[in-house]
């Protein structure tokens, strides 16, 4: 993919509009994880160091357009940015009237409060473009959205990819396009239907795929195993069989089962061919974890999205923790992405041992489904 990047831009003396993804989890005004803010700093600092002024845009959550709602205000983000950058980053509220506060770096209030942002309105894109001289797209996590601040604006300003977008694309290309073999994908989660396109795309690219969670149950059923009362999707058994023809799907050999899913349930481990009618699979066992660890050890490239059990419940987290440890110990190039995956990485403290952790949720998934992300596509042609 050939995109013009920030390194190609003349920045000195210019006002640079940066679209970042500062959509971080906030509870009662307190940021729960500032990973996306920290990942956005490199581009901001690059512009400042090259003599530019920064006007930053982001969305936060999915507020109703046209109405201010303090729950979705970017104020906590402006405060965190001020702390991280060691100078005041004011929050601009009247930017749609062309009014910006003084400052070398200002953050515009939630762009999704603006009617027409999500619809990619030409007028809104034009109005935003009037606030600066150059546009830098650094919101990898929002690159799958065709909105005024991600796509529309590129019709009105010279546009470049930011440092985070550049890093993300490099990491994804290394793991999915120019893969060093043997390659292994680990795709977990509750439903095959939500990962069908990912599985379809990766089955043509990766040598082996570990399937976990509810997804594994559908594959187990497709392979003829009795899976008791475990969650699975009967309609997708034929699809699962097709995927199994393209690539080697690594199925669990033993699993943790319960009779009812709750924190107090006793987890029993059983061979995959000895489940009872009322068993519910909630985790993978020691045999499977050792088998996965062997596969991980011999892989040169690993792409990981989704846990292999209900790891939020301590007694059902054995397999996901073992998987994390194996990835941390491996010398492979490892790429991880997706909300649950990042929670597991944080829970088991392995972030520093993963080669690259994507900031994208939906955008990461669409990329590994083989889809073109519209906000990156426009940077290629302009
Ligand atoms: C995300 O969290 O995946 C991105 O910020 C995109 O958010 P959205 O799904 O609300 O567009």
**Nearest by Cα to 363 from 23, 1, 116, 110:** 23
pLDDT value, residue 193: 85
Which ligand 1 atom minimizes the distance to the CA of 59?
Answer: 5
Interval 136-151 mean pLDDT: 98
Measured by CA distance, the residue closest to atom 7 of ligand 1 is 142
CATH assignment of 179-368?
3.40.50.1260
Contact 195 CB / ligand 1 (< 6 Å): no
Is residue 345 pLDDT above 80, yes or no? yes
Which positions are catalytic? Answer: 36, 191, 339, 362
Measured by CA distance, the residue closest to atom 6 of ligand 1 is 142
Contact 90 CB / ligand 1 (< 6 Å): no
pLDDT value, residue 2: 85
Is residue 382 pLDDT above 80, yes or no? no
Cβ atoms of 199 and 209 within 8 Å: the answer is yes
Angle between helices 339-347 and 318-329 (to 10 degrees): 80
CATH assignment of 6-164?
3.40.50.1260
Of 59, 147, 305, the one to substitute when testing ligand 1's pocket (max ligand atoms within 8 A of C-beta) is 59
Fold match between domain 6-164 and domain 179-368: yes
Q: What is the percent of the chain with per-residue pLDDT over 70, rounded to a whole number?
A: 99
Contact 19 CB / ligand 1 (< 6 Å): no
What confidence tens digit (pLDDT) does each residue in 288-333 have?
999 999 999 999 999 999 999 999 999 999 999 999 999 999 999 9
Is residue 106 pLDDT above 90, yes or no? yes
User: Alpha-carbon distance 379 to 377, whole Å?
Assistant: 5
Measured by CA distance, the residue closest to atom 9 of ligand 1 is 362
Contact 142 CB / ligand 1 (< 6 Å): yes
Rounded distance from Cα 265 to ligand 1 centre (Å) = 34
Q: What is the pTM of this model?
A: 0.94
Mean model confidence pLDDT for the chain = 96
Domain spans of the chain, in order of start: 6-164, 179-368
Contact 339 CB / ligand 1 (< 6 Å): no
pLDDT band at residue 381, thresholds of 50, 70 and 90?
low
């Amino acid at each position: 993919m050939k995109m013009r990047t920030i390194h190609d831009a003349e920045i000195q003396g210019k006002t640079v509009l940066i679209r970042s993804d500062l959509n971080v989890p906030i509870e009662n005004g307190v940021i729960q994880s500032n990973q996306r803010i920290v990942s956005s700093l490199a581009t901001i600092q690059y512009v400042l160091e090259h003599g530019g002024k920064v006007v930053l845009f982001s969305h936060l959550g999915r507020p109703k357009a046209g109405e201010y709602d303090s729950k979705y205000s970017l104020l906590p983000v402006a405060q965190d940015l001020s702390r991280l950058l060691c100078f005041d980053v004011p929050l601009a509220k009247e930017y749609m009237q062309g009014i910006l506060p003084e400052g070398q770096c200002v953050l515009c209030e939630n762009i999704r409060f603006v009617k027409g942002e999500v619809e990619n309105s030409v007028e809104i894109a034009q109005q935003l473009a009037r606030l600066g001289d150059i546009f830098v797209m650094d919101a990898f996590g929002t690159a799958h959205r065709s909105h005024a601040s991600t796509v529309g604006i590129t019709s009105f300003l010279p546009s470049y990819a930011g440092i985070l977008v550049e890093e993300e694309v490099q990491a994804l290309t290394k793991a999915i396009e120019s893969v060093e073999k043997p390659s292994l994908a680990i795709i977990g989660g509750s439903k095959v239907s939500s990962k069908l396109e990912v599985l379809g795309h990766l089955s043509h690219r990766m040598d082996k795929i570990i399937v976990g969670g509810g997804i594994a149950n559908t594959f187990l059923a497709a392979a003829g195993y009795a899976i008791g009362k475990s969650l699975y999707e009967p309609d997708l058994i034929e699809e699962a069989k097709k995927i199994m023809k393209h690539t080697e799907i690594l199925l669990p050999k033993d699993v943790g089962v319960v009779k009812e899913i709750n924190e107090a349930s006793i987890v029993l481990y059983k061979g995959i061919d000895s489940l009872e009618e009322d068993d519910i699979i909630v985790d993978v066992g020691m045999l499977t974890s050792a088998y996965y660890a062997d596969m991980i050890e011999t892989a040169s490239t690993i792409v990981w999205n989704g846990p292999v059990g209900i790891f939020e419940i301590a007694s059902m987290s054995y397999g996901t923790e073992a998987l994390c440890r194996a990835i941390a110990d491996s010398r492979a190039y490892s790429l991880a992405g997706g909300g649950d995956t990042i929670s597991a990485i944080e829970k088991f403290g392995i972030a520093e041992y993963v080669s690259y952790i994507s900031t994208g949720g939906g955008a990461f998934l669409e990329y590994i489904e083989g889809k073109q992300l519209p906000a990156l596509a426009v940077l290629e042609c302009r």
